[in-house]
Structure 1
Amino acid sequence: MNANFNFRYLRNIESSFRLIRIIVFAVIVGSFGFAAYMAYLSHKTDRESRQKIYVLDNGGKSIMLALAQDQNANRLAEAKDHVKTFLKLFFNQEPDEKAIAANMDQAAYLGDESVTRHYYDLREKGFYTKLIQGNATQKIMIDSLSINMSRSPYSCNIFGRVMLVRTSNITFRKLVADCHLIDATRTDNNPHGFLIERFRVTDNSDIETINRDQYEAYR
């Protein structure tokens, strides 16, 4: 009887140790699983936080939350606005030397040396001097702007007209240009984070010149 009791006692101890081992193993597996889940959750939270941009609005009184995925979806719109901003800075000119220089300084932040080279070419040809001396104003009208965002650098084609307003008449010129865009760091002077490369004007021929009074009457 005593031997039978000892046998059952030993079996109970063995069962207890087996149960303890199972419990310990389950705790270890659970701990690893919990740690893995927390690591995944942390990574997911960090990834989601990187996909959010907080923008101060109304002088910092409110905060608007914009998703980076929406920003990526609007990257084409940003690219077009970048080019349009550049074109307006480059081609919209008043007969004021300081205003022209300020526009060109700002336009230079949006492009590479191809932009400044085109500006220097126009300056050497006396275009800006004639603009100031003739008290003329130049404005650009963008007809179409297409950008291929499938691969970088992004190719861009520009079609528009340039209106040169003088005291007595207005000259309309065709504007056909192309360039490439690359991603760049966003700055105060380059908020969209693009840089224009290889900018060139392929056609800037005259379309027509009309009397200014005729244009005003037409408007």
Structure 2
Amino acid sequence: MNANFNFRYLRNIQSSHQLNRLVVALVIICSAGLIGWNQWLTHQTVEQSREKIYTVDPSGKTIMLAYAQDQNANRPAEAKDHVKTFLKLFFNQEPDEKAIDENMKQAAYLGDESITRHYYDLREKGFYTKLLQGNTIEKVLVDSVNVDMTRSPYYCTINARIMLVRATNITFRRLKADCSLIDARRTDNNPHGFLIERFRVTDNSDIETINRDQYNGYR
């Protein structure tokens, strides 16, 4: 009888140990699950908070809530605006040597040496000297900028026109160019975070020259 009692006692002890191990295992699993869920919830809360921007209206009395867009969602538009900004800096020129130099310095922040090389080519050909001597204003009219964002470097094609405004006439030139864009660090001088590479003008031929009196606005 003692043997049977001892056997049952040992079995009870063994069952108790197994039950304890099971309870401990369940507690560990539940704790791990709770920790994991808490971390996921914290991550979601942080991500949602990043999408919110609090702004103050001009009166300073009301705080308004706005939602920030995903940075990558707007990259195609930023790429096009980067190229358009460069075109305006490079091709919108007044007959002022200091203004031309300042524009070129700003344009150089947006691309590689292909930009400065094109500037030096134009300068060696006397283009800017003619602008200054002829009191000519140069303007760019951007018709289209197309950027293929499917693969980096991003290939870009440019279709535009150049206006050369003189005292008595206006000359329109065709501007066709291409380049590549790569991602770069955002800075004050390069807010879109792109860099233009291998900028190349493929067509800069004259379209027409008209009398100033015949011109009635951008075409």
* Global fold match (TM > 0.5): yes
Q: TM-score, normalised by structure 1?
A: 0.84
Q: Please list, as runs of the form range in 1=range in 2, the aligned pairs for 1:49-128 lying within 5 A after superposition.
A: 52=51, 64-68=66-70, 71-128=71-128
Equivalent residues of 1:141, 1:161 under 8 A apart = yes
Deviation for aligned residue 1:144? 1.5
Q: Deviations over 1:26-59 (max 9, x none)?
A: 122223333444455556566x379758697879
Superposition RMSD in Å: 3.1
Alpha-carbon distance between aligned partners in 2 of 1:134 and 1:168, rounded to the nearest angstrom? 11
Equivalent position of 1:153 in the other structure: 153
CA separation of 1:56 and 1:80: change in aligned 2, threshold 3 A: farther
**3-state DSSP of counterpart to 1:67:** coil
Gaps (5+ residues) in structure 1? Answer: none
Alpha-carbon distance between aligned partners in 2 of 1:136 and 1:23, rounded to the nearest angstrom? 88
Alpha-carbon distance between aligned partners in 2 of 1:76 and 1:114, rounded to the nearest angstrom? 22
Equivalent residues of 1:57, 1:64 under 8 A apart = no
CA separation of 1:218 and 1:100: change in aligned 2, threshold 3 A: closer
Equivalent position of 1:207 in the other structure: 207
Deviation for aligned residue 1:2? 8.1
| Residues 198-207 or 29-38, more deviating | 29-38
**3-state DSSP of counterpart to 2:68:** strand
Which amino acid letter does the alignment assign opposite residue 84 of structure 1?
A: K
Alpha-carbon distance between aligned partners in 1 of 2:104 and 2:55, rounded to the nearest angstrom? 29
Gaps (5+ residues) in structure 2? Answer: none
Percent identity of equivalent pairs:
68
Which amino acid letter does the alignment assign opposite residue 199 of structure 1?
A: F
Q: TM-score, normalised by structure 2?
A: 0.84
Equivalent residues of 1:53, 1:67 under 8 A apart = no
Equivalent position of 1:183 in the other structure: 183
**3-state DSSP of counterpart to 1:74:** helix
Deviation for aligned residue 1:213? 1.0
